[in-house]
């Protein structure tokens, strides 16, 4: 009897031990995965888009952006392989005052193509699944839920910010410099853009035109003040909070979504639509593209830009893009395939 029972008992014990070991390994594996997901993406249950191994790569990409910004004389395009997939963590290290809780820790996944100096910019494709709208944006009550702007586009000159794409909370340009001081005041611009603006300004001056500089780079806080002042004005005229906010946003973009926050735009002349009748506007219409600037909010594109006609707002995109945009008669959203 014992000869049969003992081997049988041993077999049972061995089987139990084996099952225990297998379960332990499986459980540990699950715990490891869960820990990685939680630490990478604490704000969302949507863990499917996170790739932990991409973090070091995204840091490299961001470092490149900062380094290239220190070269103030010659704008450079982002270095990189022909086609690279990066997962970018837009951390918020802000020194600017801000009440926005917009993208607390968004993770975007971007496929960027190799920079090209001539081709039309099919540079980015951002998947909807990986770019969550920021539902806690302070102006969400009026229908504004911008997604994080993609700062890692292959060509930095084509960074798109508008009411649908917001800069990281507390964004500040890598380096700000004053534009040239001519007959009018100088204003701050991104250091990669300022040399081109200065060149344009001086060329206009040679032609007897003063490109009177009204507004360059604005901080998030300043943009917020301007935007909320506009809302207050409309509210005092009897509009509801939602109506007033929506109306204000056609004239002043909500904080974080303005090209003035990016440091790529200059308001020139006067903030009146009658500026289009000025010699300065005529000069800009003729020559601005030669220096890389576009009329960003054209009269016939308001349904796309969602911004009133602004003859004073000129945005830098680089000479070849500016010329292509002008020749095609499109706005930046159309040019980027984001209309």
Nearest to 80 by CA among 130, 119, 118, 123: 123
- How far is residue 239 from each of residues 236, 248, 274, measured CA to CA in Å? 7, 11, 26
Q: Can 228 be counted among the known catalytic residues?
A: no
Stretch that binds Zn ion, among 84-92, 98-106, 198-206, 260-268 (CB under 5 A): 260-268
Angle at 147 between CA 328 and CA 34, to 5 degrees: 135
Nearest CB to Zn ion, comparing residues 267 and 333: 267
Nearest CB to Zn ion, comparing residues 301 and 313: 313
Catalytic residue among 40, 61, 310, 333: 310
Stretch that binds Zn ion, among 41-49, 101-109, 116-124, 264-272 (CB under 5 A): 264-272
* Beta-carbon contacts of residue 82 (< 8 Å; ≥ 6 apart): 113, 114
**DSSP H helices in the chain:** 2-40, 55-69, 194-206, 220-236, 241-248, 259-262, 279-287, 302-305, 319-328, 332-335
Which of left, alpha, beta for 318 (phi over 0: left; psi -120 to 50: alpha)?
left
Per CB under 5 A, which of residues 212..251 are in contact with Zn ion? none
Rounded to a whole number of angstroms, the minimum distance from the CB of residue 253 to Zn ion is 9
Whole-number Å distance between alpha carbons of 96 and 145: 21
Rounded to a whole number of angstroms, the minimum distance from the CB of residue 29 to Zn ion is 54
Nearest CB to Zn ion, comparing residues 87 and 261: 261
Based on the shown chain and the rule CB under 5 A, indicate whether residue 313 belongs to the binding site for Zn ion: yes
Rounded to a whole number of angstroms, the minimum distance from the CB of residue 334 to Zn ion is 19
Nearest CB to Zn ion, comparing residues 27 and 229: 229
Stretch that binds Zn ion, among 75-83, 191-199, 276-284, 312-320 (CB under 5 A): 312-320
Nearest to 262 by CA among 161, 144, 156: 161
Nearest CB to Zn ion, comparing residues 192 and 313: 313
- The distance from CA 67 to its chain's CA centroid, rounded to whole angstroms, is 18
Number of residues that make up the chain: 339
Rounded to a whole number of angstroms, the minimum distance from the CB of residue 213 to Zn ion is 11
Residues binding Zn ion: number (CB under 5 A): 2
Rounded to a whole number of angstroms, the minimum distance from the CB of residue 155 to Zn ion is 22
Rounded to a whole number of angstroms, the minimum distance from the CB of residue 318 to Zn ion is 19
Nearest to 192 by CA among 65, 72, 68, 315: 72
Nearest CB to Zn ion, comparing residues 107 and 265: 265
Whole-number Å distance between alpha carbons of 216 and 210: 16
Q: CB 32: neighbour CB atoms within 10 A? A: 10
Residue number of the CB atom closest to Zn ion: 313
Stretch that binds Zn ion, among 9-17, 64-72, 230-238, 307-315 (CB under 5 A): 307-315
* Beta-carbon contacts of residue 26 (< 8 Å; ≥ 6 apart): none
Binding site for Zn ion (CB under 5 A): 267, 313
Active site residues: 310
């Amino acid at each position: 009897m014992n000869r049969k029972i003992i081997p049988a008992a041993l077999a049972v014990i061995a089987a139990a031990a084996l099952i225990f070991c297998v379960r332990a390994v499986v459980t540990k594996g699950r715990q490891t995965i869960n820990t990685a997901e939680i630490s990478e993406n604490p704000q969302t249950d949507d863990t499917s888009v996170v790739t932990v191994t991409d973090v070091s790569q995204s840091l490299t990409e961001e470092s490149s952006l900062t380094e290239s910004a220190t070269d103030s004389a010659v704008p450079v395009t982002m270095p990189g392989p022909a086609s690279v997939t990066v997962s970018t963590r837009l951390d918020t290290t802000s020194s600017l005052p801000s009440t926005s809780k917009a993208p607390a820790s968004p993770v975007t996944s971007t496929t960027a193509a190799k920079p090209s100096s001539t081709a039309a910019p099919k540079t980015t494709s951002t998947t909807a699944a990986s770019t969550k709208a920021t539902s806690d944006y302070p102006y969400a009550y009026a229908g504004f839920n911008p997604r994080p702007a993609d700062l890692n586009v292959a060509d930095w000159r084509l960074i798109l910010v508008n009411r649908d794409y917001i800069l990281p909370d507390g964004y500040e340009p890598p380096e700000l410099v004053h534009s040239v001081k001519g007959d009018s005041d100088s204003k701050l611009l991104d250091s990669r853009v300022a040399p081109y603006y200065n060149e344009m300004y001086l060329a206009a001056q040679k032609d007897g035109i003063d490109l009177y500089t009204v507004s360059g780079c604005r901080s998030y806080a300043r943009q917020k003040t301007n935007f909320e002042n506009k809302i207050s004005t409309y509210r005092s005229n009897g509009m509801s909070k939602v109506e007033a906010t929506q109306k204000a946003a056609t004239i002043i973009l909500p904080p974080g979504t303005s090209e003035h926050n990016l440091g790529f735009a200059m308001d020139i002349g006067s903030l009146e639509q009658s500026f289009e009748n000025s010699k300065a506007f005529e000069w800009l219409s003729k020559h601005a593209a030669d220096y890389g600037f576009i009329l960003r909010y054209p009269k016939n594109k308001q349904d796309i830009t969602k911004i009133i006609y602004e003859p004073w707002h000129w945005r830098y995109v680089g000479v070849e893009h500016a010329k292509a945009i002008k020749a095609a008669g499109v706005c930046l959203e159309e040019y980027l395939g984001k209309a």
